[in-house]
Structures are given as C-alpha cells and as structure tokens.
Structure 1
Amino acid sequence: MRTKLLLSALLVGWLQGNGQAVPDSLPKQVDLEQAIAFSLKNQPLVQQSEIDEKITAANIRNRLADWYPQVNFNYNLQHNFVVQTNIIGGNPVKLGVDNVSALQFTMSQTLFNRDVLLARRTRTDVQQQALQTTRQRKIDLVVAVSKAYYDVLATTQQVKVADENIRRIERSLQDAKFQYDAGVADKTDFKRATIALNNAKASRIANEEILKAKQEYLKSLMGYPVETPIELLYDSASLEQSITAPADENPELNNRIEYQLLTTQIKLQEANLKYNKWAYLPNVSLNGAYNLNYLNNQFAKLYNVNYPASFAAITLGFPIFQGGKRKSAIDAAEWQLERTKLDLLSLKNSVNAAYSQAIATYKSTYTNYLALKENLDLAREVYDVIQLQYRNGIKTYLEVINAETDLRTATINYYTALYNVLASKVDVQKELGQFNY
C-alpha cells in the first residue's frame, strides 16, 4: 500500500512538473459537442441499452451452447432399509442389496432441435436489433440534448439582455436626474426611469429562475451530477454561420433508424413463423453413459467390487398430436408479422409528412430569424439616435423609453429566433436520418 501511494504521488508530481494537468472527466464548461459526448457516455438510458446489448450477446451464447456436447456427472448413495422382494418360480426372492452406490458419466449431443436451429439462424438479427435499439436511444438523446442546449442559450441571452437593459436604464435614470437637478425637466422623467428600472430588474430575476430550471433539465438529459453547476460555452458568430438556407430534400427511408429497426423485427418474426411451422419436426440427439455400480449388503465393503455398465443411444422425439397447438402458434406468428408490416407501411406514410412539417417549420423560423436580425440592427440604431437627441434636449424621455423597449424586445426576439432556427434544423436532420451513432 505504501509503495502504491508513493508511486501515485510521484506520477502526479511528474505530470505537474511537465505542465500536464490530470484530466477531469467532469467538465464545468461544455459546448454542444462536449454536451452530446458526455450525454452519450453518462446518460443512464444509454448505459442501460448498452448493458442490454451485452445481455443479448450472453443469451445468444447460452442458446448456442446447446449445440455442443453436454457432459454430466451424477453420484448416488442409497441404503435400503427393506429390500424389495418379488416372487420368482413360486419362491420369494430379494431384488437387490442393502447398500447401493453409483457413479454415472453421461454425454448427450443434439443432432437436430428447432430451438437451437432458431438461435443459430437469428443470432445476427438479434444482435442487430439490440444495437439498433441503442442507436435509436442515442439519436433521440442527441436531439433532445441539442434542443435543450439551445433553449438554455436562449434564456441565457434573455438574462444578458436584461443586464444590458438595466445598464441602459440606469444611465437614462442618471441623465433624467441631471436634467431634473438642472431644471430642464420635471420629476416625470425621473419617475418613469425608476419604474422602468424596477420592471427590468424583476424581469431579470424571473429569467434567472427560468434559466435554473432549464439548466437542471439539460443536466438530467446529460446524466450530469445534480450538485455540480454547469456552464455552457458558445460562440454566437459560429452559431450564426452554422445556419444555412433551407433546401428541400427527399427523405431517404433507409437512413431512418426506425425503418432499420422495423426491418430487423420483420426478419425475426419471419424466423419465428418458420420456427412454429417446424413444430412437426423431430428432436434428434445422441446419448451415452458409463456407470460405476457398487452393491453390497455390508457398507464397509460397498466399494470393494464394481459392476460397470455403459450404453449409447440415439433418441428421436416426434410430435403426433398436440391439440391444435402448432396451428394456433402459426396463426399468432402470422398475425404478428402482418401487424409489424403495417407498422412499416405506417412509417413510410408518415416520413414524408413529418419531414414536410419539419422543413416548413425550419423555413418559417429561418425567415423570421432574418427579419428579426434586421429589426435588431434598426432598433439599436434608433435607440442610439433618440438617446443622443434626448441628451441634447431634442426628444422627450417617453421616446427614449419607447426606443429602449423596442431595442430590448428586438434583442430578445432575435436570440429567440436564432435558437429556434437551430432547433428546427435539428428536427430536419433527424427526419432526414442524418444522425448516426
């Protein structure tokens, strides 16, 4: 233990001496890519799905083990208090001895069995189904984390807008106070500025509380520790550059994980249908045993003499009548297969509709984003001009308040539109099957 502690201390010291930090697996600041990567690694649902893959693989190995020879050993020790008696030739004869012991080695080899045959033929599809289920959960998680990430950014911007608004109002309040002290204006401007400042502070507090709730929701999606604060890293310019004009595309059904999963389910159900049709086939196995038998009336001399026995046999089991069980199982398998095919048809019909809705929303939010971006530039320009004119006594403070309100609204609307168009783009990418994990 002392040696291990010493080595650990030397390793940490060497890393620090070479300017290398010990990696921290729990980042305090994350961008979108880091948030997604952390989610895929730490989200409990994804971890459960990956465990399901391992369970599936173990179950497959368990079923396929029946193809291998099965060797067993049995040991038996029996004392007969009253030995069975039978009448042979009119005379009572004891059939056995007081003490019996047997050591039995058995071996069986399956030659044909529909259970192991099904396991062998469907193992690839079963593994594929488990893998696709994990991929589907990952894709859904990536979409949810991305949209929650943008939602947190939008609310963060609202808090920052509120801070900027408060600073502007505080400057306006100071200007109004100076003008009142100079006798240029009355108390009305000063009171209006105070009212606006109180409203801005109240709005900021409300946005801060909303931001906390949205951060907790994002952390829950990521599998991030509740007690650890999280801060999002982002670059508004890069986010704007990632926005591209919407373009109509034809969704490829094969790229959708839902389609791939349904296709795999159909393969498995077709195999299950064949399995039920094979119910009339026999079970064939090779069996053998070697027995060491010990018989003696005296327990102390029980293992002095061995009477061995061995055999080999082929066993064939053939179902003759099962009360219609096979026919009922086949009917159920056929209807289940038909039902899944209808699910596939329903997916085909809904893909285009879902994509049309997603691209329509994307186009709408994109157009709205462009308009609100222009409105923000105009509102900022108007506010600067009116603020300057107010200081020079040309405009009234009421016009300053209106301009400030327009600027604040335009800023909030712009950032809301920015993150809405990014979230809409995520929905379009999902409908096109562009996420692959």
Structure 2
Amino acid sequence: MKKIYLLLLINLTLCLPRVVFGQASTDTVVTLKQCIEFALRNQPAVRQAAIDEQINEKDVKIGLAGWLPQLSSSGEYEHYFKGSVPVAFSTGTTSTTTGQTVAAPNLDEYSSLGLQASQVIYNSDVLLAAKTANYSRLYYKQNTLSSQINVLSDVSKAFFDVLLSQKQLDILNEDIVRLQRSLKDSYSKYQAGTADKTDYKQATIALNNSIASRKQTTESIKAKLAYLKQIMGVKAGTTLTLAYDSAHYESEAYIDTNQQLDYNKRIEYQQLQTTKTLQNINVSYYKWQFLPSVSAIGAYSLNYISSKFSSLYNNDYPSGYYGLTLSFPIFQGTKRLQNLSKARLQSSRADIDIENSQNTINTEYVQALASYKSNYTNWEILKQNVDLAKDVYKVVSLQYREGIKTYLDVIVAQSDLRTAELNYYNALFQLLSSKIDLEKALGTLTPQSN
C-alpha cells in the first residue's frame, strides 16, 4: 500500500503543473509603456489635476472679466399717493411731443427705462487678476505634471513588483520540475536498493514546500495586480497580463550617476518658486489698495410721467450722461496695513519653504543615489552567482545519478540555485525601482521621458 500511495503521489506531482498552468490565457497583454500611457489618461489623481487646471482657467477668466466694459439695464414703475408727489415734479413737466405742460398735482404715475455702462480704468482687484493670470496657470500646469510624475513612478514600481513575483513563480515552476525529476530518481534508486528511503522522502518534502511557495506567490500576484490596476485607473473586473523582456530591462537598468543635482529641475521646487512669485504679487496688491479706483461711466434713460397709467408711455423724457468716478478709501481701521503685513509674512514663509525644499531634495538625491549604487553592485554580483549555481547543480545532479554524491548534496545545490535566481531577479527589479527614485530625485523623470 505504501508503494502504491507513493506512486500516486509522484504521478500527481508530475501532472500538477500541467493542470494549473496548461490553461490558455485570454488576458490583455500590456507593456510598461502602455500601462503608463493608460494611467496618465485615466488615473483619478491625474484627471482631478486636469479638472483643477480647467477650474483655475475659469477663475482667471472671471477675474479678467473685470477689465471689460460692464453693461446693465434697469426699469421701474412708481405710483405716488395723492399729496406725495416728489418735489422734482412740482414745477410741472412739458411733453416733448405735444409741447403741453402737465400740472404737478396730476403727476402720480412715473416709470423709467435705463441703460448704464462702466469701464474700469484702474482698480487693484482687476490689476491683481491680470498680474497673477499667467502664474496661476503655470502653477496648476505644474500641479498636473507633478501628479503625472507621481503616477509614472508608482505605476512603474508596481509593474516591476508584479514582474518580480511572476519571475519568482517561473523560478518555482522550474524548481518543481527539477524536484519532480529528483523525486523520481530517488524513488527509482530506493526501489533498486541503491539508496535509502530518506532520499525520496526528503525529495517529497522539498517538492511539497515548493508547491506551497508557488501557491503563495500565485496569490500574491493577484493582490499586486489589483494594486497596479488601482493606480492605473483600470476597472476591477479587467484582466491584465504583463509583457516583459528581462534582457531589455537589464539594459534599461543603467543610469549616469555623475549627473549633477539641479533643484530647478524638480517639479516641487518649481511649484514653490511659482508660489513665491504669487506671494510677491499679493504684497504688491495690498500696496495698490492705497491708490484710488478710477472708472469711466455713462448712462441713458427714458423717463415717463403721467397722471394716468393708460397714457403713461405715450410721452418720454430722455436723459443721459457720461463721466468719471474716483473712489479713494481714506481710513479703514488699519485693515490695509494689516493685510500688507500679513502678505509680507506669507512671502517670508515661502522663502523658508524654498530653503527647506532644497535640503529635502538634496537628502532624497543622496539617498536615491546610494540606494542605486548599492543595488547595482548587488545585482552585478548576484548575476554571477546564478551562472555558478547552475554549473554546480548540473555537476552535483550528474554525480548523484552516478552514486558519487548524496541526495543531500543535490538538495543543497538545488536550493542554492533557486536562491541565486530569486536573489538575482529581486536585485534586478530593486535596481529598476531605485533607478526610478534616482530619476525622480534628479528631476529627469517626466512623462515625456518615457
């Protein structure tokens, strides 16, 4: 019975990879570039930033609308009680059409239709809108670009994370095939009486461990794919299969580490510089408020006066004028002085933000550069370990079949090979992620560069 059970176990493990991985995939195959392009169009943060940019454009146009002529119309109707006729009507009114004069006591119906126009010549509010328009647009464009850079970085890292797990899965599948072969060889030796039964039991244990690891890795890929789809803006029900070329990514892992850090290339620093400019304009705005506001005005109206409503609109009395208005607030309880002082403090605070940003950017650069160099060295060394581990495994496996080496030596060699391969790909994708961090720290990571 034990032999039958063991044979069934061997056949099951031999067939298991075909059952699990023999199904045809119908998923959409996408590359890293396609993932990034899709995310830049559909990721919620990027879409929100684009909407914020459009909202700001509307605010700019609303502010600049104050420079355009302002037109308004008005109309009114009034009925005066007996004995309450305005003094203005007390001398009577002469009709422009009939030449007759209407007595004041009978003028108890009044109406007017008018058109008013004004044009700002100088006003601190509309001047502020004109001065800040371009810088406000620039700030929100920078905000959109910042969102795109963050999405580019996050999608790239998530993509590499999924690829790492998929490579780990491939390595585990290869390891399982080798373990199945070893299990078959050790069991054959046991049946032939040339090996102890502990060999095939150790092989079974190792095989079961690898199968369990494969299941864990398979499930982790699902979770990592879900996160990738989330930051891409892909619907939850969409299936994705990632396409990659290890040789391509190996060539993409290199970056010039002699590049000099330039703060002005960082989008965060650019945003702070724009904010500083807006703060300076705000200081000037509160200075401008000490100047008077000047506007050109004009109006034209038709007045109607009658003793009866039925004949109110038979005759009209036009009037019109144009001129200038000057408004100069003399004292506002030190409000303007306090606002000016506040704006200067905000400008000083922006200077400190810029100074602190320089220190932060420098730290990020130093950390990213150190991480990249460390990962690059690690990757170069581990790449050699894979070739060495393959050669060792081939030799030890052959010597075991010839009875020179023990099965323990095979297990150790196989474990070393699997570890070397896992470490190599882990180092490769860590290197690619650290390259993304270094490019971001240098300010060279932009949507146009990918």
- Give the TM-score normalised by the residue count of structure 1: 0.89
1:189 alignment partner, SS class: helix
1:308 alignment partner, SS class: strand
Partner of 1:403: 413
Q: Which runs of 5+ in 1 are unaligned?
A: 1-26
Q: Which amino acid aligns with 1:216?
A: A
Partner of 1:5: none
Asked whether the equivalents of residues 79 and 99 of structure 1 are also in contact (C-alpha less than 8 Å), the reply is yes
Worse overlay, 267-276 or 306-315: 306-315
1:152 aligns with 2:162: yes
Partner of 2:250: 240
Asked whether the equivalents of residues 355 and 431 of structure 1 are also in contact (C-alpha less than 8 Å), the reply is yes
Q: Which amino acid aligns with 1:191?
A: K
Asked whether the equivalents of residues 84 and 94 of structure 1 are also in contact (C-alpha less than 8 Å), the reply is no
1:72 aligns with 2:72: yes
1:111 aligns with 2:121: yes
Partner of 1:40: 40
Shift of residue 95, structure 1, vs aligned partner: 7.4
Shift of residue 229, structure 1, vs aligned partner: 0.9
Asked whether the equivalents of residues 255 and 435 of structure 2 are also in contact (C-alpha less than 8 Å), the reply is no
Partner of 2:206: 196
Asked whether the equivalents of residues 83 and 97 of structure 1 are also in contact (C-alpha less than 8 Å), the reply is no
Asked whether the equivalents of residues 294 and 325 of structure 2 are also in contact (C-alpha less than 8 Å), the reply is yes
Partner of 2:181: 171
Q: Which amino acid aligns with 2:29?
A: Q
Partner of 1:19: none
Shift of residue 126, structure 1, vs aligned partner: 1.0
Q: Deviations over 1:253-290 (max 9, x none)?
A: 12111121111111111000000111111111111111
Q: Which runs of 5+ in 2 are unaligned?
A: 1-26, 89-102
Q: Which amino acid aligns with 2:179?
A: I
1:31 aligns with 2:31: yes
CA distance in 1, matches of 2:289, 2:318: 39
Partner of 2:317: 307
Asked whether the equivalents of residues 110 and 306 of structure 2 are also in contact (C-alpha less than 8 Å), the reply is yes
CA distance in 2, matches of 1:424, 1:95: 93
Q: Deviations over 1:279-332 (max 9, x none)?
A: 111111111111112222322222111122222231111011011111110111
1:300 alignment partner, SS class: coil
Match runs of 1:316-395 below 5 Å: 316-395=326-405
Asked whether the equivalents of residues 399 and 405 of structure 2 are also in contact (C-alpha less than 8 Å), the reply is yes
Asked whether the equivalents of residues 85 and 107 of structure 2 are also in contact (C-alpha less than 8 Å), the reply is no
Shift of residue 94, structure 1, vs aligned partner: 7.3
1:419 aligns with 2:425: no
Aligned residues: 408
Shift of residue 71, structure 1, vs aligned partner: 1.3
Q: 1:174–1:300: structure 2 CA closer, same or farther, 3 Å change rule?
A: same
Q: Which amino acid aligns with 2:389?
A: A
Asked whether the equivalents of residues 112 and 285 of structure 1 are also in contact (C-alpha less than 8 Å), the reply is yes
CA distance in 1, matches of 2:86, 2:183: 119
CA distance in 1, matches of 2:230, 2:105: 74
Asked whether the equivalents of residues 286 and 314 of structure 1 are also in contact (C-alpha less than 8 Å), the reply is yes
Asked whether the equivalents of residues 248 and 359 of structure 1 are also in contact (C-alpha less than 8 Å), the reply is no
Asked whether the equivalents of residues 111 and 284 of structure 1 are also in contact (C-alpha less than 8 Å), the reply is yes
Asked whether the equivalents of residues 246 and 363 of structure 1 are also in contact (C-alpha less than 8 Å), the reply is no
Asked whether the equivalents of residues 246 and 359 of structure 1 are also in contact (C-alpha less than 8 Å), the reply is no
1:162 aligns with 2:172: yes
CA distance in 2, matches of 1:201, 1:216: 23
1:223 aligns with 2:233: yes
Q: 1:83–1:386: structure 2 CA closer, same or farther, 3 Å change rule?
A: farther
Q: 1:79–1:166: structure 2 CA closer, same or farther, 3 Å change rule?
A: farther
Q: Deviations over 1:187-238 (max 9, x none)?
A: 2112111111111111111111111111111111111121101111110011
CA distance in 2, matches of 1:245, 1:112: 55
Asked whether the equivalents of residues 226 and 236 of structure 2 are also in contact (C-alpha less than 8 Å), the reply is yes
Partner of 1:133: 143
Worse overlay, 287-296 or 77-86: 77-86
Shift of residue 99, structure 1, vs aligned partner: 3.2
2:114 alignment partner, SS class: strand
2:312 alignment partner, SS class: helix
> Identical aligned pairs, as a percentage?
45
Asked whether the equivalents of residues 292 and 308 of structure 1 are also in contact (C-alpha less than 8 Å), the reply is yes
Shift of residue 78, structure 1, vs aligned partner: 3.7
Shift of residue 164, structure 1, vs aligned partner: 1.1
Q: Which amino acid aligns with 1:406?
A: D
Q: Deviations over 1:373-417 (max 9, x none)?
A: 111111111111111111122211111111111111111111000
Partner of 1:265: 275
Partner of 1:100: 110
CA distance in 2, matches of 1:87, 1:106: 25
Q: Which amino acid aligns with 2:223?
A: A
CA distance in 2, matches of 1:333, 1:69: 30
Cα RMSD (Å):
2.0
Q: Which amino acid aligns with 1:241?
A: S
2:204 alignment partner, SS class: helix
Question: Which of residues 215, 219, 223 is equivalent to 1:213?
Answer: 223
CA distance in 2, matches of 1:245, 1:176: 48
CA distance in 2, matches of 1:335, 1:156: 54
Asked whether the equivalents of residues 303 and 318 of structure 2 are also in contact (C-alpha less than 8 Å), the reply is yes
Partner of 1:9: none
Q: 1:147–1:87: structure 2 CA closer, same or farther, 3 Å change rule?
A: closer
Worse overlay, 125-134 or 51-60: 51-60
Q: Which amino acid aligns with 2:115?
A: F
The structure number with the bigger radius of gyration is 2
Asked whether the equivalents of residues 85 and 108 of structure 2 are also in contact (C-alpha less than 8 Å), the reply is no
**Runs of 4+, deviation exceeding 6 Å:** 93-96
